[in-house]
Structure 1
Amino acid sequence: MFDSLTFFDLLLLVSATGTLSLLVLKYIRTARLRASLPPGPRGVPLIGNIFDMPSSREWERFTEWGRKYDHAENVGRQELHLFGPPEFPMLGEMMGWDRGLVLSHYGERFRTFRRLLHRFMGTRTVVAQHHDTPENLIEHLRRYAKTYQRVGALDMTWRSRTAGAVVLDLCGDELVHIAEVASLEFSRAATPGAFLVDSLPFLRHFPEWFPGAGWKKLGREWRADTHKVVDTPFEYVQKRRTAGIAGTSFVDVNTKDNMSEHDADILKWAAVSIYFGGSDTMVSATSSFFLAMTLYPGVMKKAQAELDAVVGSHRLPTFEDRDRLPYLNAVIKEVLRWAPVTPFGGHHRLMEDDIQDGHLIPAGSAVIVNIWGLLHDEKIYSRPMIFDPERFIATEKMSSEIDPHSILFGYGRRSCPGMHLADASLFLYIATILAAFDISKAVDDCGRVIETNAEFTSGLVSHPSPFQCSIKPRSLDAISLIREANMVEP
């Protein structure tokens, strides 16, 4: 019988046998643990809840599960436990992102990343050193306003002279394209359930020609894009340094003469981790701000009235004005709560067995915090689907609701190292836009108002679905400020 088998037939037989063995072992282990695991949707033998995983608006399904299966009394419990290895074979080993901060296991490489990022932007005091001088503020606003629709936060995170000076002084269509492509691929691959191999990691061992293994070819193509976005800007900085051009970027500051290959690898991956941690998220937050102002014009008018009273109409706001702008700060908090940029934040992995509320969470399990669910929990926020900055302003009759910053930026070792920089940058951008522009619903060629809804895309980073709005200067004074700042093309 076996003499008639071809090599590929034999390989298929071995692969199928190995797969069946792994599934049986998984089923036995799951059966042993089933009685002590937390409650959840009933899965299918051997493959669990793979087919229950939503492909869009995941946060809503996870919130539904949280309400149905959570028997804990503590408020705001929104966790999803995935009893399988959160290895992300597609994003990690196939695309190469296991070299970066997000997928690094806790150890020396991870700790080195955190030390580098903390020294550069880990505290409010350090971030204050990156605040713009008046002349650089104008340059930053001009570049950011001109490129918002095209590249979003690219200038903000990859320039060496502005408040977003975190990586390098480099721009241009080629890098813009490289960054945009890699960002989209990263977001897609990091979405829970996007690729079957992330739920069944043993599929990584199957050859590319095997049915269902087409993701390997896609992974190889995306890996090339990963290397481009990691290597290209780093090489640019090194060439600039060789030419004697000094910079103040993250890479410039941390580059040393005769760096070892290991140290260079750490530095360039730390740099790209900064960019990917802040670029797409900044575009998401500012886009959500424009959507909110389009839908809630009363909020915009109130924030503008506060700006007029504190700043006046003859200059743009600065960081020094922030403490005197409580309503504007509340608007920023509500943007982050109403439309969280990362609905699930970073994934966590248990290093050892843990007991929570009498239930076992096995070592190796992935724990995903449903940030969207927490920020829209009626036990925490009143009327959570409504955009209402007043919830963050205490009165004699009511205390303010929980600051979303304490939820949005993650927890423990995996908390966002750039949270203070992101907060400062978002304040500067929103304050400037509100001081200079009115935002309203767009109208078509016949003068009819174009209605829009608060809808958002799925993915690791969520964005408002495409919408239209009208952006116009507020006054003659605003036009003068815009021209002075060169925020638009002449």
Structure 2
Amino acid sequence: MPYGTSALLFASLGVAAVALVTFFRIRRNQSNAAKASYPPGPKVANMPLLDAWVTYREWGNVYGNLIYLPEWNVLITNNAEVAIDLLEKRARIYSDRAICGGENLLSVERYSEKWRRDRRVFQQTFRQAAVSNFYPAQYYKVHEFLRNLIYKPGDAPAHIQGLSQGLVYKSLYGLDITPEDDLAKKATGIVGTFARALISGGFPTYEWFPWLVYLPSWFPGCEFKRVAIECGRVVEEVDTIPFDIAVENLKNGVSTSPIAELAAQRPQDYKEIKAMGTMSFIAATDTTMSSISSFMLAMCMHPDVQAKAQEEIDRVVGKDRLPAFEDRRSLPYVEAVYREVMRLDPPIPLGFPHTSTEDDFYCGYHIPKGCSVVANIWAMNRDPNVYADPDKFLPERYLNSSTGPFESIDNIYAYGFGRRVCAGRYMADNTVWLTVASVLAAFTLGKAKDENGNEIDITGEMTDLFFRHPKPYQSSITPRSHLAEELVLATVDHGN
């Protein structure tokens, strides 16, 4: 049979297979729907991609706590209690993920024995009892960030990116890698690709028919596979290069690092350990950068909050040193500022979607197998039934709450839910807090002024795609005093 004829026949058979599976899927859904109805929701031809969390909240005002989109097999909730019921209390059912190109990345890979093995390796390094191992690297990179703000305050966004990216390489590999490094650029590029894959509707054929992964990439509807292949190639490269350097440095006695030591202790887990490093970088690149950027924007827009936090630091820590992790429990208002940043501006407003592995029934509604469950964290954190004046930046809300500001990190919904909660959340929590406290101790942030001495307004606008962070704005960043500037500059002499 000629090649062209065989290819056409194969494509025809593939189309027929898709049609057949679609038919049986519809029949199955109709059968299940006869037993219990689906949750209510609008009929939409296209999923919203820009500011989707706002649209989902508006739908919730109409349809309630459960919003189902049958055309996309997506369930959305804007309610934290519902998210906890499904994603945590029924985690056995709602812990899967079907993400294009994410087969080897812990946060987005399928829920399986491989995922459990990868997570065990990850948790050995990032568990709460072990995160103090990262303190030296965190001090080093945060203090470097402070010095960069003194040298070039106008380049604050680039400095924030350098901190969020460089910390992973420093803390895990013992390497100083800047955002200009080719390795960092390639890893950052992966983040943009996954941002598309993580939005419901980004690759609809893959979401509805994950078995298409077994067809060739040229097959109609298999664009996701071409993207996945390219992602896999880049992931393998950014897995291997820093890992090999760190292992070689340990062997030659040049330097040591957590990832090289772990590889020496557990050579059978080389693949999982390499993947852990890449996942750490990808997870931190946009999330840590977003949280720090949102904090700095908030301080420019709320000078009264900044002044209160600085007064607390001056009173508790003093003016002759920078804050340390040991000071955290003694700084409740600074803690409240950090918590309010994470509430009002979560880096990933919709979190990472969960996928159901079997049919389920909740509150009388049928939730079908393979359903993508989206927890609208942005809306949960602005629930007027939970937070007074939910759209305002008010750190005092934590001081006045029954639990106080030092509540469990599990109550910061930005870190996710259930078995798919961010495995590196304890390190991320420490990094953002130390940056918040250190910037407050050393700098005054405010609005920039034009040539006539008038303040330039800051709109506070945020980006509207999967990862959320402030849009560019002009600001003023100056040391609080000559002593504060000297403290920051002196960190380089202390190896910090």
Length-normalised TM-score, structure 2: 0.82
Query: Alpha-carbon deviation of 1:24?
Result: 1.7
Counterparts of 1:5-404 in structure 2 under 5 Å? 6-35=5-34, 36-43=36-43, 49=44, 51-70=45-64, 76-77=80-81, 88=98, 90-91=100-101, 97-123=102-128, 125-132=129-136, 137=139, 140-142=142-144, 146=148, 148-159=159-170, 165-172=171-178, 173-201=181-209, 204=213, 207-209=216-218, 213-249=222-258, 251-256=259-264, 259-260=267-268, 263-394=269-400
Distance 2:447 2:253 in 1: 50
Percent identity, please: 28
The match for 1:430 is: 436
Instruction: Quote how far apart the aligned CAs of 1:357 are.
Output: 1.0
Instruction: Supply the distance in 1 between the matched residues of 2:305 and 2:315 (Cα, whole angstroms).
Output: 16
Residues 256-278 of structure 1: CA deviation (Å, up to 9, x unaligned): 27934xx2111111222222222
SS of 1:439's equivalent in the other structure is strand
Which amino acid in the other structure matches residue 202 of structure 2? A
> C-alpha deviations, 1:396-446, integer Å up to 9, x for none?
xx7759877512222222122222221111111111101111111123445
Instruction: Name the CA distance, whole Å, in 1 between partners of 2:139 and 2:6.
Output: 66
Letter in 1 for 2:334: L
> 1:143: how far off?
5.0
Q: Secondary structure at the match of 1:372?
A: helix
Contact conserved, 1:286 with 1:426, CA < 8 A, in 2? yes
Partner residue in 1 for 2:155: none
SS at match of 1:449: coil
In the alignment, is the contact (CA less than 8 A) between 1:158 and 1:166 conserved in 2?
Answer: yes
Question: 1:162 — aligned with what?
Answer: none
User: Aligned partners of 1:67 and 1:383: how far apart in 2?
Assistant: 17
- 8 Å CA contact 1:293, 1:300 repeated in 2: yes
CA distance in 2 between counterparts of 1:116 and 1:207 reads: 33
Q: Contact 2:97/2:109 (CA < 8 Å) preserved in 1?
A: no
Aligned-pair CA distance for 1:467: 2.2
Residue 472 of structure 1 aligns with which residue? 478
Distance 1:469 1:453 in 2: 12
How far apart in 2 are the matches of 1:327 and 1:107? Answer: 42
Q: Which amino acid aligns with 1:64?
A: E
- 2:386 and 2:38 mapped to 1: Cα distance? 23
Residue by residue over 1:467-489, the C-alpha shift from the partner in whole angstroms, topping out at 9 and shown as x without a partner, is 222111111111211221249xx
Larger helix proportion of the pair: 2
Rounded Cα–Cα distance in structure 2 between residues aligned with 1:280 and 1:234: 22
Q: Secondary structure at the match of 2:477?
A: strand
Count of aligned residue pairs for this structure pair = 460
Q: Distance between the aligned counterparts of 1:13 and 1:110, measured in 2?
A: 36
What is the CA-CA distance between 1:204 and the residue it aligns to?
Answer: 4.5
Letter of the 1:313 partner, please give it: K
Cα distance in structure 1, aligned partners of 2:233 and 2:367: 37
2:444 is paired with a residue of what secondary structure?
strand
After TM superposition, the score normalised by the length of structure 1 is: 0.83
The AA in structure 1 aligned to 2:58 is E
1:372-407 CA-partner distances (Å, limit 9, x unpaired): 111111111111111110100127xx7759877512
- Which SS does the other structure have where 2:373 is aligned? strand
Q: Tell me, in whole angstroms, the C-alpha distance in 1 between the residues paired with 2:30 and 2:296.
A: 50
Q: Which moved more, 1:462-471 or 1:383-392?
A: 462-471
Does structure 2 retain, via aligned residues, the 8 Å contact 1:89–1:204?
A: no
Post-superposition Cα deviations, 1:208-237, rounded to whole Å, max 9, x if no partner, equal 445554454444333322222222211222
Q: Distance in 2 between matches of 1:380 and 1:241?
A: 51
Seen in structure 2, the aligned counterparts of structure 1 residues 285 and 16 have a Cα distance that, compared at 3 Å, is same
Q: Return the alpha-carbon distance in structure 1 between the equivalents of residues 324 and 388 of structure 2.
A: 32
Displacement of 1:79 after TM fit? 5.1
Secondary structure of the structure 2 residue equivalent to 1:367: strand
CA distance in 1, matches of 2:165, 2:356: 34
CA offset at residue 189 of structure 1?
2.5
Q: Return the letter of the residue paired with 2:229.
A: R
- Code of the residue aligned with 2:199 in structure 1: it is T
Distance 1:256 1:370 in 2: 41
In structure 2, C-alpha distance between the alignment counterparts of 1:180 and 1:350, rounded to whole Å: 29
**Residue number in structure 1 paired with 2:74:** none
The residue type equivalent to 1:24 in the other structure is F
Unpaired segments of 5 or more residues in structure 2?
67-77, 87-92, 149-157
Task: Judge conservation of contact 2:250–2:257 (CA < 8 Å) in 1.
Answer: no
Cα deviation, residue 284, structure 1: 0.7
Secondary structure of 1:302 counterpart: helix
Q: Per the alignment, do residues 277 and 221 of structure 1 end up closer, same or farther by CA in structure 2, a change over 3 Å counting?
A: closer
For 1:223, the aligned partner's letter is G
**Is this contact kept in 2: 1:86–1:366, CA < 8 A?**
no
Give CA deviations for 1:324-366 in whole Å, capped at 9, x if unaligned.
Answer: 2111100000000010012122332333333211222233323
Pair 174,19 (structure 1): closer, same or farther in 2 beyond 3 Å = same
Change beyond 3 A, Cα 1:455–1:203: farther
Once residues 367 and 283 of structure 2 are traced to their aligned partners in structure 1, the CA distance between those partners, rounded to angstroms, is: 28
Query: Mind listing any 5+ residue stretches in structure 1 that lack a counterpart?
Result: 44-48, 92-96, 160-164
**2:100 is matched by which residue type in structure 1?**
M
